[in-house]
């Protein structure tokens, strides 16, 4: 029978777990999805065997295996909550054997808060918790063995080395626990020489094993000691969650939701602006929405290199892929893969498969699809994208992207996006996404001569003028600033309310009543 006190404590713990899981599922789902997308787990013996190449194989294997279920936000929330709960229970058992009564409860609560705070950082992965739990569990087991039935047999070295092998820095936690148990026994004055040896041995081995094995694992000592890495506590980062949610909505091809999330963002930034505009472009409304977002960031003035932040590499990968530049999309995807744990990122492997399907490199695409086929969450996606098994919508999407791709064989001077856009339009002037990005970039730079030149080259000369209100307004500025005959106006401008508005604006330049027009942007922003 449980005592009333235990029932109350259990009830509080259970309620805490439910609240925590609910928090992760509702307020932090994109952080969890980010973890899942930032790795890959293959259900093959070969893949599992690679975990033995580094320390902490069990912590990393268990953590990575469960992280793949983060694909479902509820499952992810439950898994993370249980991992934290398991660590806390192990800690509570240990601390209760060392400290009396209330102080053990306080320490346990603080420990739980610390673990929860660590989970707020997007860089904290599930293997961290498994290594903590593994280290605690082995420390407790050592205590049980050393002071239990097998007390004549000192297995401390085995426990500590095993803790390092299986849980990396967890060995330090084991050693800490073993030392704490020993200190307590010293204080209680029933300490034997052998327990001194246990504690000393635990500390020396926890620090020495990584040094001894750092060469074997090809890790510097500092990294080997704390492998796979110590998490840092942080406060909830809702701004980052917001950014991730916008990118996730975009990847789900829910462009309305992407734009809505970007518009509703409490902290609009370059990333929310980027996805707002890219979603607009895919809905053929980039010129209509260019002036509607506070931050003007199309991504066309951004380049990537080895020091670029990961979200920026993701952004550029999405931009190049949607524009149709498969070379640069592949480059960004490769780069993003390289900067992921174990050089693999499931979102980018999907992207690499798509890129190679679009470019017709079927053998390469099949390689990526075979990798995805061995995952839990992407096996169905892989089958849907396998040539010969594609449903009509996937096939149509691949075909559409092929028409947008570059078909010129030439070398390019750099990753200047203007050049990329021009090259794409040379291949296919009907690539409206590239056209809008080109013209809108000109307009954001207020480079009216270049805008006019681009508009002439890809709209007028190709016989497909693009009568968007934004372009009409910009053309009026250009035409009004030059001494062109009226016939030129007729060539570019459709008579109507925009012309009337322009005439009114000309007399009231800078009037905020016109803040939705390009004229106002040109004059005032």
Partner 1 sequence: MKPYIYIFICAILAACSHGKPPQMSPSTEKPDIFPDYADVTIPSRIAPMNFNIINDNAEHIYVKVTGEKGGELETSGRYADFDEKKWHDLTTQNIGADLSFDVSVKDRDGKWSRYAPFVIHVSDIPLDDYGVVYRKIAPGYQTFSKTGIYQRDISSFEEIPVLEETAVEGKCLNCHYSNRGRNDQFSIHVRGKNGGTILNNGKNLVYLNTKAPETAGNATYGYWHPDGRYIAFSVNKIVQNFYLDKEHNIEPWDVVSDIIVLDTETNRIITSPVVATPRCETTPAFSPDGKKIYFCLADSVTMPGGYDRLKYSLCSIDFDVKSETFGSRIDTLVCAGDLGKSASLPRPSYDGKYLMYNITDYGTSPIHHSDADLWIMDLSTGESRNIAEVNSDCSDAYHNWSTGGGWFLFNSKRLDGMYGNLYFSCIGPDGKATKPFLLPQKNPRLYYDEALHSFNAPDFITEKIDLDMPEVRSMVKSGKTLDVSVKK
Q: Which of 1, 3, 5, 45 binds partner 1 (CB under 8 A)?
A: 45
Contact 178, 199 (CB under 8 A): yes
Alpha helices in 120-217 (DSSP H): 126-147, 156-167, 170-187, 193-213
- Is there binding between residue 412 and partner 1 (CB under 8 A)? yes
Distance of alpha carbon 174 from alpha carbon 204, whole angstroms: 12
Q: Which of 306, 393, 483, 486 binds partner 1 (CB under 8 A)?
A: 306
Q: Which of 20, 25, 32, 42 binds partner 1 (CB under 8 A)?
A: 42
- Is there binding between residue 220 and partner 1 (CB under 8 A)? yes
By beta-carbon proximity to partner 1, the closer residue of 74 and 422 is: 422
Q: Which of 10, 26, 44, 461 binds partner 1 (CB under 8 A)?
A: 44
Stretch of 138-146, 256-264, 337-345, 498-506 contacting partner 1, by CB under 8 A: 337-345
- Is there binding between residue 388 and partner 1 (CB under 8 A)? no
Stretch of 132-140, 164-172, 292-300, 333-341 contacting partner 1, by CB under 8 A: 333-341
The contact mask relative to partner 1 for 162-191 (x = CB under 8 A, - = no) is ------------------------------
CB atoms within 10 A of CB 285: 17
Torsion angle, alpha carbons of 478, 479, 483, 485, to 10: 160
Closest separation between CB of residue 485 and partner 1, Å? Answer: 39
Q: Terminus-to-terminus CA distance in the chain, angstroms?
A: 73
Closest separation between CB of residue 524 and partner 1, Å? Answer: 39
Structure tokens at 485: 């005959």
Distance of alpha carbon 39 from alpha carbon 185, whole angstroms: 44
- Taking alpha carbons only, the member of 222, 192, 109 closest to residue 117 is 109
Closest separation between CB of residue 44 and partner 1, Å? Answer: 5
Site size with partner 1, rule: CB under 8 A: 48
- Is there binding between residue 51 and partner 1 (CB under 8 A)? no
Stretch of 41-49, 87-95, 142-150, 287-295 contacting partner 1, by CB under 8 A: 41-49
By beta-carbon proximity to partner 1, the closer residue of 414 and 512 is: 414
- Is there binding between residue 410 and partner 1 (CB under 8 A)? yes
Categorise residue 411: left if φ over 0, alpha if ψ from -120 to 50, beta otherwise.
Answer: beta
- Is there binding between residue 429 and partner 1 (CB under 8 A)? no
Q: Which of 79, 355, 434, 476 binds partner 1 (CB under 8 A)?
A: 355
CA-to-CA separations, 226 to 58, 157, 211, 214, 229, in angstroms, rounded: 15, 19, 11, 11, 5
- Is there binding between residue 366 and partner 1 (CB under 8 A)? yes
CB atoms within 10 A of CB 413: 6
Structure tokens at 394: 């996937």
By beta-carbon proximity to partner 1, the closer residue of 30 and 356 is: 356
In the block, which residue shows the tokens 């791709």?
Answer: 405
- Is there binding between residue 3 and partner 1 (CB under 8 A)? no
User: Who contacts 386 (Cβ-Cβ below 8 Å, separation ≥6)?
Assistant: 366, 369
Stretch of 40-48, 71-79, 104-112, 378-386 contacting partner 1, by CB under 8 A: 40-48
Closest separation between CB of residue 148 and partner 1, Å? Answer: 28
Structure tokens at 54: 């580094």
- Is there binding between residue 334 and partner 1 (CB under 8 A)? yes
Closest separation between CB of residue 46 and partner 1, Å? Answer: 4
User: Who contacts 525 (Cβ-Cβ below 8 Å, separation ≥6)?
Assistant: none
Q: Which of 167, 328, 471, 521 binds partner 1 (CB under 8 A)?
A: 328
Contact 423, 324 (CB under 8 A): no
Stretch of 76-84, 167-175, 270-278, 323-331 contacting partner 1, by CB under 8 A: 323-331
- Is there binding between residue 152 and partner 1 (CB under 8 A)? no
- Taking alpha carbons only, the member of 83, 74, 436 closest to residue 278 is 436
Contact 389, 383 (CB under 8 A): yes
- Is there binding between residue 415 and partner 1 (CB under 8 A)? yes
- SS3 of 286-307: HHHHCCCCCCCCCCCCCCCCCC
Distance of alpha carbon 138 from alpha carbon 56, whole angstroms: 13
Q: Which residues bind partner 1 (CB under 8 A)?
A: 42, 44-47, 214-215, 218-220, 223, 305-306, 326-328, 330-331, 334-335, 337-338, 343-344, 355-356, 359, 361, 363-364, 366-367, 370-371, 374, 405-415, 423, 427
């Amino acid at each position: 029978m449980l005592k009333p006190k235990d029932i109350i404590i259990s009830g509080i713990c259970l309620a805490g777990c439910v609240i925590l899981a609910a928090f992760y599922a509702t307020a932090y789902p994109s952080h969890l999805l980010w973890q899942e997308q930032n790795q890959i787990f293959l259900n093959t013996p070969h893949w599992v065997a690679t975990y033995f190449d580094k320390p902490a194989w069990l912590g990393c294997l268990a953590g990575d295996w469960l992280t793949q279920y983060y694909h479902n936000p509820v499952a992810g929330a439950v898994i993370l909550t249980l991992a934290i709960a398991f660590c806390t229970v192990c800690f509570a058992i240990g601390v209760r054997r060392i400290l009396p009564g209330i102080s053990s409860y306080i320490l346990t609560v603080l420990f739980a808060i610390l673990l929860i705070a660590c989970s707020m950082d997007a860089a904290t992965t599930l293997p961290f918790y498994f290594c903590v739990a593994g280290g605690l569990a082995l420390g407790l087991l050592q205590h049980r063995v050393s002071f239990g039935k097998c007390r004549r047999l000192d297995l401390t070295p085995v426990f500590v080395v095993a803790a390092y092998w299986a849980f990396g820095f967890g060995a330090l936690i084991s050693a800490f626990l073993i030392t704490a148990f020993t200190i307590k026994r010293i204080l209680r004055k029933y300490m034997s020489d052998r327990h001194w040896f246990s504690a000393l041995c635990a500390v020396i081995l926890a620090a020495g094993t990584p040094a001894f094995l750092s060469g074997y694992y090809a890790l510097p000592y500092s990294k080997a000691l704390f492998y796979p890495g110590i998490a840092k506590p942080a406060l909830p980062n809702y701004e980052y969650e917001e950014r991730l949610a916008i990118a996730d909505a975009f990847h789900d091809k829910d462009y309305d939701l992407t734009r809505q999330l970007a518009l509703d963002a409490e902290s609009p930034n370059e990333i929310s602006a980027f996805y707002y505009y890219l979603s607009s472009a895919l809905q053929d409304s980039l010129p209509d929405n260019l002036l509607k977002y506070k931050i003007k960031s199309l991504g066309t003035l951004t380049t990537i290199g080895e020091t670029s932040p990961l979200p920026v590499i993701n952004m550029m990968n999405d931009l190049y892929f949607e524009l149709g530049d498969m070379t640069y999309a592949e480059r960004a995807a490769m780069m993003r893969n390289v900067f992921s744990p174990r050089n693999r990122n499931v979102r980018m492997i999907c992207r690499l498969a798509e890129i190679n399907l679009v470019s017709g490199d079927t053998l390469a695409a099949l390689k990526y699809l075979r990798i995805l086929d061995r995952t839990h969450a992407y096996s169905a996606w892989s089958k849907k994208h396998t040539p010969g098994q594609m449903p009509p919508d996937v096939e149509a999407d691949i075909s559409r992207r092929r028409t947008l791709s570059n078909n010129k064989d030439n070398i390019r001077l750099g990753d200047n996006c203007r050049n990329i856009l021009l090259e794409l339009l040379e291949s296919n002037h009907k690539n409206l996404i590239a056209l809008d990005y080109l013209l809108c970039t000109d307009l954001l730079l207020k480079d009216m001569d270049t805008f006019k030149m681009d508009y002439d080259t890809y709209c007028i000369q190709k016989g497909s003028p693009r009568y968007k209100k934004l372009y009409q307004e910009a053309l009026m500025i250009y035409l009004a600033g030059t001494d062109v005959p009226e016939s030129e106006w007729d060539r570019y401008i459709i008579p109507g309310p925009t012309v009337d508005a322009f005439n009114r604006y000309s007399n009231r330049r800078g009037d905020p009543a016109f803040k939705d027009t390009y004229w106002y942007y040109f004059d005032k922003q």
